[in-house]
Structure 1
């Protein structure tokens, strides 16, 4: 099995806020991330596809095609957007990085052909990231 990873970058704003809680509860749980005026991140998304290389091309998936799929189904929807307000697939969900990566998977997985989507890694900051394997 071979694994190939494409890295993409985007910027987005969000806030962590549970509408069922009081302002005080949100501030206690989420601190400055509950700021009513939002805050932003320079995200880095790693998309890993696994498979056996095609004997004719040597590719699991054409990485240019993978980039176009990622742009169409993720980047065009989230780049320079507010995850809480502007992104349809995040509607009604707490915009944590953990929830966000699950929803990204749901958007990408049906469009990956040739190989199989194996892992997503989403960096929120250079020191904080989440991994998801579709489980």
Structure 2
């Protein structure tokens, strides 16, 4: 993507984007972001199918299937899209994945130290 800021986005959001891409709930955030982007079109189609077609259950089923397809596409591409977003903010490629992997390894070490130590 080309941005008016010389190819990179403003530095003031850099820390927030890194947090957003590596926090515990990053997958949920990506999913919600993707569903919000498709919500206006889904609502318009739901109303159009309901009003013009007259069959509300069919319109609701079509909307639900559409949301499931969008959710699958968003979740399938979530790692790549988040890593690409971090690259736009000046981080090296794969930085988000590396940070999440390190965080998970640290959590596993803490778990092992507390719960898997030999009995005294």
Instruction: Give the TM-score, by structure 2 length.
Output: 0.35
The structure richer in strand per residue is: 1
Instruction: Give the TM-score, by structure 1 length.
Output: 0.32
Which structure is larger by alpha-carbon Rg, 1 or 2? Answer: 2
The structure richer in helix per residue is: 2
